[in-house]
Amino acid sequence: MPRTVLIVEDDENIAELLMLYLEKEGYATITAGDGGTGLQKYRENKPDLVLLDLMLPVMDGREVCRSIRESGDTTPIIMLTAKGETGDKVSGLKMGADDYITKPFEMKEVLARIEAVLRRSAPGEKASHRLVFDKLIIDLDAFELIVDGKRIDTPPKEMELLYHLASTPNRVYTRNQLLDEVWGFDYFGDSRTVDVHVKRLREKLENVSDKWSLKTVWGVGYKFEVLQ
**pTM (two decimals):** 0.56
For residue 88, the model assigns a pLDDT of: 65
> Measured between alpha carbons, how far is 139 from 187 in angstroms, rounded to an integer?
23
Q: Are 227 and 212 in contact (CB under 8 A)?
A: yes
For residue 185, the model assigns a pLDDT of: 46
Which parts of the chain register pLDDT below 50? 125-126, 185-186
> Measured between alpha carbons, how far is 64 from 67 in angstroms, rounded to an integer?
5
Q: Where are the domains of the chain?
A: 4-121, 130-226
Fold of the CATH domain 130-226: Arc Repressor Mutant, subunit A (1.10.10)
> Would you call the peptide bond into 104 cis, given omega within 30 degrees of 0 as the criterion?
yes
List Cα–Cα distances, 142 to 80, 157, 179, 182, 191, in angstroms.
Answer: 16, 14, 23, 18, 27
For residue 9, the model assigns a pLDDT of: 96
> Reading across the β-sheet that carries 99-102, which strands appear in turn?
28-32, 4-8, 49-53, 77-81, 99-102
Classify 4-121 by CATH class.
alpha beta
> Reading across the β-sheet that carries 150-152, which strands appear in turn?
130-133, 136-139, 144-147, 150-152
Maximum Cα interatomic distance, the chain, rounded to a whole number of Å: 60
